[in-house]
A = this chain, B = another copy of it.
Amino acid sequence: MSSRKFFHPEADALTLHRILFALSDPTRLAVVRALKDGAERSSGDLLAESVPRSTMTHHLKILREAGVTRTRPEGMRCLISLRHTDLEARFPGLLDAILAHGRSD
């Protein structure tokens, strides 16, 4: 049985400034780019060599609490995915417009 361990805001409670804040960091932008294809990825898979695990945990919390990502516990792992449908319903075109800009951040 998988209990819901993590807070996720409802789709209609997402706010523009919180989403922009969540995306206002190069590491968090890189995470969102890595999830852009719609697949779930473990936090371990998202870890960059240059980013300590505790820092990545903090970044993933900011993304989740802004409603950008969903975290799903599975056994010992946490699987993370982009809330593309919720983001698109609330702010159509926003995420794609931001992610269109490659790695020029």
Binding site for B on A (CB under 8 A): 15-18, 20-21, 23-26, 29, 90-91, 93-94, 97-98, 100-101, 104-105
Contact = CB atoms under 8 A, between A and B. Distances in A.
A66 to B, nearest CB: 10
Contacts of A16: 29, 98, 101, 104-105
Contacts of A93: 97, 100
Nearest to A19: B24
B20 A24 contact: yes
Ordered nearest first, which 7 A-B pairs have the shortest CB separation? A97-B97, A21-B24, A16-B105, A20-B24, A20-B20, A17-B105, A20-B23
11 contacts: A15-B104, A16-B101, A16-B105, A17-B26, A20-B98, A90-B104, A91-B101, A94-B97, A94-B100, A94-B101, A97-B97
